Chains A and B, each alone.
Chain A
Amino acid sequence: MRRNRLILAIAVALAFPQLARAQTREITGTVTVAGGTVPIAGSTISAEGTTAETRSSNEGRFRITVPAGPVTLIARAIGYKRGIQVVSGTQTTADFALERDVLQIEGVVVTGTATTIDRRSATTAVAQVSGDAITDVPAPTIQNALVGRVSGVNLQSNSGAPGGGIQMQVRGNNTILGSFDPLYVVDGVLYSNSRIASGRGSISDAAFATAEDDAVDRVADINPENIESIEIMKGAAASSLYGSRAANGVVIIKTKRGQLGAPRVNVRQVFGQFDISKTLDSRRFTLQEATDKYGPDVAHWFDNNANPYFNHFDQLYDNHTLSYETAMDVSGGAGNTRYFVGGTWKHDGGIEPNTGFGRQNLRVNVDQSVNSKMDVQVSTEFNRAQHDRGWNNNCNNFACQGYAFAYTPGFVNLKARDQNGNFLQPDWGIQSNPLQTAELARNHEETNRFTGGVTLNYDALNTGRNSLKFVGAAGIDAFGQNNNLWSPNELFFEAVQTQPGAAVEGNASSRVWNWNLNAIHNFIPSGGGWSANTSVGTQYVEEYLDYSRITTTDLIPGQQNVGQGTSTIGTDTLKKSRTLAFYGQEEVRLLSDKLLLQAGVRAERTSNNGDIDKYYLFPKVSGSYRLLNLIGTGSEIKPRIAYGETGNLPIFGQKFTLLNTPQLSNLTGFTVAGASGNAAVEPERVKELEVGVDGLAMDGRLTWELTGFTRNTTNLLLQRVPAPSTGYATQVFNGGKIENQGFEAVLGVTPIQRGNNLVWISRATFTQYTSKVKDLAGLPPFRPPLSGFGGLGVTFIEVGEPLTQIIGRDFCNPNVPASCASDGVRTATDVKVGNSAPNYRMGFVNELTFKAMHLNVVLDYQNGGDIINLTQFLYDDAANSADYGSKDWEYRMKGYNGGVITPYIEDATFLKLREVSLGVTVPHRFLGPANTVIKSARVSLTGRNLVSWQKYSGLDPEVANLGSAAIRNNLDVAAYPPSRSFFLDFSLGF
């Protein structure tokens, strides 16, 4: 029944616009950059109050058909402020000179699968970043490039390992067991961000199997070079048309496309290198102390030097492999065809030897007009990535570098080798030399990925008052990831294993396939004054992820194939889901475009739900009103309000009760598994109210966007423990509530603007949110999955507390004797000792242009948040801390000995100089005879993560040993150290 009604509604919507065409005429003109004659290609020219719209050619020319009589033409182009002209009924030409839009006043905002709205009217907060900003300073991944530039988004890297591994969190945590990733959409194709662990933990004997493998988040595959823009839909009202994948926000990425005209060629060559930003010191031993602690065998380290001391970080992390990026693109168009072809070859050298990151991309985007009504857009990219992320994070056999350093006294020269060139057999207590591990062990990952989509646009009707457009799109994103790890038998830590030598072969195959069909109807009544935009659509998504891993130990010496070990284990996991959705949206503009009202709903059913036939509804409603000229001519103040709902899918398999397959006497049996499925499992539901006031004043030199939101996530996926007498140990169910409240602000000012010769643009972003567990549906407080290490500070879910609270043992309060046990430790074990979420974050982007010079600085500030310094804990455990014997050390040891974690919990506040770039656009006349060929040339010197001012005593407060935990815990367990990078950047345009 429900389906039939929906179809009926679509039929009515489609039948509606069959109205007669009015009399029309043509207007021609050009669009250029203000203050010159440079044409703007691809700008949109539309007639206000009608549905007429066209685009400018490569020479900036346009031709538009409009109704008879006077019309108002509006010219818009990305990166420029709009131009408006009233064209009289007799005038047949109109020329536009557009000013640069330095504060991003203009642009369009995505409101649905195939609908957009101009930014000035947007009913929700908007986070948009242009491709230029992303590539200004070479970044390993797009996420690195976004840091400091957007509000409402918390981006934190899990370690300093090359090539990705960043958690992106939009408006805080919403889930405990569900997915915590935003949905990524690249040119309409859903883009997988699966993290597939390497299997390193099985070699390094990590506590949490694969969760400590520092897995790459696969959005690292996206090539920043080819990006036109990134838009982040933050709130539920913005993203509700994406349904139950949108609870954590939606990131919409558009890539560059060709423009009509002669071929344009851009070439970029970047050279640079990475340097470790900070190292840790260790205890200084005297000969006596050394032999007391490690025995007489270590005395030889003191033979030629009474006070030997080596900083092992300096010994290991001194790799300065050349990092480079070569990017080239060709774009253009003729006749009905436009194209963009871009290729990038990138390599980042890691500071640890034999680590690094490489990526090769080839993108081909083709736009083809079939006829005046129909065009086809094809977007494809092939992508290859190599990750060598080394041996770090937690381990339990000293296979990881930082962990082994904690137990390696400073008098040991790790570089020392015997006459055969082999590293010296460790005689300092542990069997491991990180330099040897880095030299001989392999942790290699290789990914091949294809992402491609086709979009068909068909203008079925355009009468000036009515337009009807169909948009159909389909796309696939598929990758194969291979992990190949080898820990050779001769490694010191392997040689002491009962089964020395290990190899891992992991293979993953991912495929996300989706298509959607949309009908968009626009109606403007003949009197004008209001307009209505109706869109309906349907979407189908299929996701497939299969990953398998073969692990072997007891290798034949010298062999690295998993077939050459005697103790071999294989695992294989397949996850698959299908989703079908219908959606509709109505957008009404009233009061001469000043009032915008939007309402929409998505109905969706998914295979991951218990009931696969049930449609879940995700509605939204929002509005904005533009107050014009209130604080000066040209000023705009826009209050807005939006409410929306989104969902978070149940995880694959939560609805199934499985059978275990125990084996005995070569027979395989079936028994009922302890985890009971829930055949009624449903999506989590996010309900969010967002209010804001945006504005621009002073001729667009001052803009602001202020947003407050309150978001309740209900129907959480939770795990309860049923009565064990049922025979089951756990069951997933829906219930409970989490609240997130926050405030975001963006402030843009142009303090100086002297034509194009001297411009200073400054943007600041502010992000603050707090979470609170409101209800756990009767569950007692609990530790979520991957909460941390036992008594060493763990995330703890408790009603009335933030989702991100850390509990642990604390010292007692001497003023409350009842709280004290005899050893000065608080009697209660589970007390709140911290909160991993920051109080707030701020970003500052400053761009200074002086004639041909260009300076860009991005600062990123985090206030508060607690980090658990288990690296320090390891040094203390090894009696090897640099401050051994000091007052600070005594305080920590009091905690260490009493099982109190508070001395290891530190403030994660930091201020980082994320980006600096100083560039010169070479004036055309300096190019000499080449200036007939070379259209533009630019040279810049750039740096990323140059300085960090932090309270944290460890290396980097921006670290998460368990980065794949839904609730991020800032857990520092000897992670890959942070690095800074410098690049010299040459860009040429032909």
Chain B
Amino acid sequence: MMTLTGITGPWFATRGRHGAAAALAALSGALLLSSCANLDVPDTNSPTQGVLTETPTRQTLARTAVGIQTQVSIDIPAQIQQWGIYGRELYNLLGNDPRETGEEISGPQDPGGRAGAEWANKYAAIRSINTYLTALPKGGLSDAEVSASQGFANTLKAWHLHMLAVRSGPTGMPIDVDRPIDAEPAPLVSSQEAMEAASALMDEALTQLNAGGGEFPFNFVEGFEGFDTPATFAQFNRALAAKMLVHRATFYGCTECWTQAATAIAASFITEAGLPGSLKTGVYYGFTSTANETANPVTETLESNRYWIHPSIISGAQLRPGGQPDLRLTTKVALAPAPRTLNGLTGTYKPVMYNDPSDPTVPDLDANIPWLTNEELLLLRAEIRWNTGDKAGAIADINLVRVNAGGLAPTLLTAASTDDAFITELLYNRTYSLMWTQGTRWVDARRYNRLNTLPLDRQGDVVHPNMLIPSAECDARGLDVPCSISGG
């Protein structure tokens, strides 16, 4: 730009050949100047990845830690709905998407459809975590802070990998995904191998948290209250580790996992003190109604046509001593003003567990969704104890939940009961304690090969045994759709 003014001086002042020479000099000067023109134009509309990968600071790392926290909850509404439909916890009878009463209940599954988002979202979260982990040592944090941050990030990464393995089952999945976008896609491994890798990473994260000093160098969003120091977050790490080990024991017959799970859960935040209030102690997925933030996506009015309790949940509830149904049902459902039937499916009750507790007709956009609470830990410990020989302890744990959460009488199980009877009792309690939080009915039925116990409403309905690898993942690998570890 400045070059023009550089020319005008000699150009005006001279004539003839001198002018030509001066102009030549000026032109050459202009070329020299312009050839070093700075063409580096940044994108200022949004932070670029470079602020994290190239010049990380304490602040950018802290923000990324927050971003990673927000990414754990992206899929949970889809998981509640989709796994809930698979596991017959609920129907979606809104009628705007034929898949809700078709594909998801009667199949066949479309690898190009619903399989995509929750797979992609989890790997996107893993990409953020990997980018964060790479940047951590460069951000000027103390060794303890780096270690604490690594422990935090690896805990969430291990959980994402584990949940991907849960959804995928026999198709397998990639785990070695920290590679450039242009590289060969990470190889598919079996979900069993993926879960083993996730468990190992969870243990590594514990070591890192233990070396992490007294505080994290970042803030926590809603939902982590009480678990926001390296020491308390380690308890959450152990709780997740225990759950993952129980999954491995039941999905893949990992017998040593039971004892490892026993060790892990003992180091978690499980407690028998303060019941029933302490049932709710734990970590939550945070939602708020604040502008630009994400509100609870599943809460709705009783008039909404969207979510309906599966009738088997209503009819299957046990009765309290007074003859009323299980408290875990009565506090979580409400009779709709009118029933709704769509495509042969009828809903009568609406879920209200995320509505205002004082007035279940009012949606509560600020309601958090449980991630892992003491209530589930007690049930996990029951499961672990039964399988590690402490059957009396297992029955005691079951009863802590039955009585405190359900208002029910203690179970009739004894240490002499069959494994089958125990599993039935366990799954009953898991279904009613955890319904509407994670699609537990579907996962539990898969863990114990009880998919055939889930109720089918219509001729031709099926229960899907797993979710498919999305077609985009197969396409990028040149595999036929649907693909799996055993080929395309």
Contacts and interface: CB of A to CB of B under 8 A. Distances in A.
A606 B39 CA distance: 7
Interface in A289-333: none
Contact of A3 (B35, B51, B131, B294): B35
A540 B1 contact: yes
B127 A726 contact: yes
Contact of B476 (A580, A582, A723): A723
A576 B15 CA distance: 40
B37 interface: yes
Contacts of B181: 676, 722, 726, 728, 731
Interface in A770-784: 780
Given A613-B39, A669-B68, 11 more contacts: A7-B31, A11-B24, A472-B7, A519-B23, A578-B37, A659-B67, A664-B69, A667-B66, A669-B70, A671-B70, A728-B124
Interface string B438-479: 000000000000000000000000000000001011011100
A727 B132 CA distance: 13
Interface in A666-694: 666-674, 676-677
B44 A669 contact: no
Contacts of A572: 45
Interface stretch (B85-93, B285-293, B310-318, B420-428): B285-293
A451 B1 CA distance: 17
B174 interface: yes
Interface in A10-35: 10-11, 14-15, 18
Interface string B206-241: 000000000000010110000000000000000000
Give the 6 A-B residue pairs with the shortest CB-CB distance, closest first. A727-B127, A669-B67, A669-B66, A723-B476, A671-B67, A460-B20
A550 B15 CA distance: 57
A538 B31 contact: yes
B288 A665 contact: yes
A733 to B, nearest CB: 9
Contacts of B38: 578
B476 A578 contact: no
A726 B185 contact: yes
B37 A580 contact: yes
A671 B37 CA distance: 33
Contacts of A468: 20
B49 A607 contact: no
A373 interface: yes
Contact of B63 (A538, A573, A669, A723): A669
Nearest to A470: B23
Interface string A628-668: 00000000000000000000000011001111111111111
B219 A667 contact: yes
B64 A671 contact: yes
Interface stretch (B115-123, B138-146, B381-389): B115-123
Interface in B63-84: 63-71
Contact of B27 (A3, A470, A515, A666): A470
Contacts of B63: 661, 667-670
A883 B186 CA distance: 60
Contacts of B476: 721-724
B67 A721 contact: no
B251 interface: no
A725 B68 contact: no
Contacts of B60: 670
A580 B35 contact: yes
B275 interface: no
Of A515, A540, A613, most B-chain CB atoms within 10 Å: A540
A670 B67 contact: yes
B133 interface: no
A780 B474 CA distance: 13
A939 interface: no
Interface size class of A (residues with CB under 8 A): 35 or more
A659 B65 contact: no
B47 A657 contact: no
Contact of B47 (A519, A612, A659): A659
B95 interface: no
Interface in A430-456: 456
Interface string A716-752: 0000011111111101000000000000000000000
A666 to B, nearest CB: 7
B335 to A, nearest CB: 27
A652 B39 CA distance: 13
Given A657-B48, A658-B43, A724 B116 contact: yes
A561 interface: no
A653 B49 CA distance: 12
Of the listed residues B27, B472, B477, the one surrounded by the most CB atoms of chain A closer than 10 A to its CB is: B27
Given A7-B31, A474-B4, A672-B127, A725 B186 contact: yes
Contacts of A673: 46
A582 B31 contact: yes
A656 B43 contact: yes
B124 A661 contact: no
Contact of B17 (A18, A470, A513): A18
A722 B177 CA distance: 12
B207 to A, nearest CB: 26
A54 interface: no
Nearest to B124: A727
A370 interface: yes
A671 B4 contact: no
A658 B46 contact: yes
B32 interface: yes
A674 B181 CA distance: 12
Most B CB contacts (10 A, CB to CB) among A373, A470, A515, A573 go to: A470
Interface string A544-588: 000000000000000000000000000011101111101000000
27 contacts: A3-B31, A3-B32, A3-B35, A10-B27, A515-B3, A517-B4, A538-B31, A576-B41, A577-B41, A607-B39, A608-B41, A656-B43, A658-B49, A662-B70, A664-B286, A665-B288, A665-B293, A667-B66, A670-B66, A670-B67, A671-B68, A672-B124, A674-B124, A724-B119, A724-B470, A725-B174, A727-B127
B111 to A, nearest CB: 12
B71 A612 contact: no
A6 interface: yes
B249 interface: no
Interface string B315-326: 000000000000
Nearest to B173: A725
A620 B64 CA distance: 50
Contact of B222 (A578, A580, A664): A664
A11 B28 contact: yes
Nearest to B222: A665
B37 A669 contact: no
A831 interface: no
B52 A659 contact: yes
Contacts of A280: none
A540 B37 contact: yes
B89 to A, nearest CB: 26
B19 A652 contact: no
A534 B350 CA distance: 82
A657 B1 CA distance: 30
Counting chain A CB atoms within 10 Å of each CB, the highest count among B34, B65, B219 belongs to B34
A657 B31 contact: no
A472 B37 CA distance: 18
B472 A670 contact: no
Contacts of A577: 41
Given A538-B31, A576-B41, A661-B46, A727 B4 contact: no
A578 B23 CA distance: 25
B438 to A, nearest CB: 20
B44 A727 contact: no
B30 interface: yes
Interface string B1-17: 10110011001100111
A778 to B, nearest CB: 9
B186 A612 contact: no
A726 B177 contact: yes
B126 interface: yes
Contacts of B128: 670-672, 727
